[in-house]
Amino acid sequence: MGRRGRGVLADRRIEAGELVERSPVLIIPHADRAAADSMITFTYVFMWEHDTVEEDLYKHEGRAAIALGYTSLLNHSYTPNCTFIRHIDELLLDLVALRTIEPGEELTIDYQMTLWFTPE
């Protein structure tokens, strides 16, 4: 693990707008949120309720989800090269390139919430 966490690097050129990954998600039900939120799991989850934003994770209410792919391992950036799209009812999370990404470049997303660490 590097100083920025696990991270994911592009193994090929990825074009702007390209679907990088479609991940099924593992739901953490509301009843299990207290236990899951108190563990390292909290740093890998996405809010998984309609009409919510990632900042709502701090309310510790409703469902959360872990993407069963690489997306949950992406590091944060305020100038990310990817974004995520939650498909709540389909239990899928899409990772889409915001711009062209070159081989060897780290894939990043904006966590869209108050960070629990100081970003580089």
Strand 106-109 relative to strand 75-76, pairing: parallel
* Closest of 50, 32, 43 to residue 67, by C-alpha: 43
The pTM assigned to this predicted structure is 0.87
pLDDT at 114: 57
Residue with the bigger pLDDT between 104 and 117: it is 104
Give the span between the Cα atoms of 35 and 37, in whole angstroms: 6
C-alpha distances (whole Å) from 49 to each of 1, 53, 57 are: 31, 9, 10
CATH superfamily of 8-109: SET domain (2.170.270.10)
Asked whether the predicted pLDDT for residue 9 surpasses 50, the reply is yes
> Average of pLDDT values for 55-71?
91
In this prediction, residue 2 carries a pLDDT of 43
Percent of the chain with pLDDT over 90: 63
Q: What share of the chain is helix, strand, coil (3-state, %, to 5)?
A: 20, 35, 50
Identify the pLDDT of residue 93: 97
77 or 65: which leads in pLDDT: 65
**By three-state DSSP, how is residue 43 classified?**
helix
Q: Six-digit token pair at 8? A: 């994911």
Please, which pLDDT band fits residue 78 given cuts at 50, 70 and 90? Answer: confident
Give the whole-angstrom CA distance, residue 24 versus residue 55: 22
Which residue ranges make up each domain of the chain?
Answer: 8-109
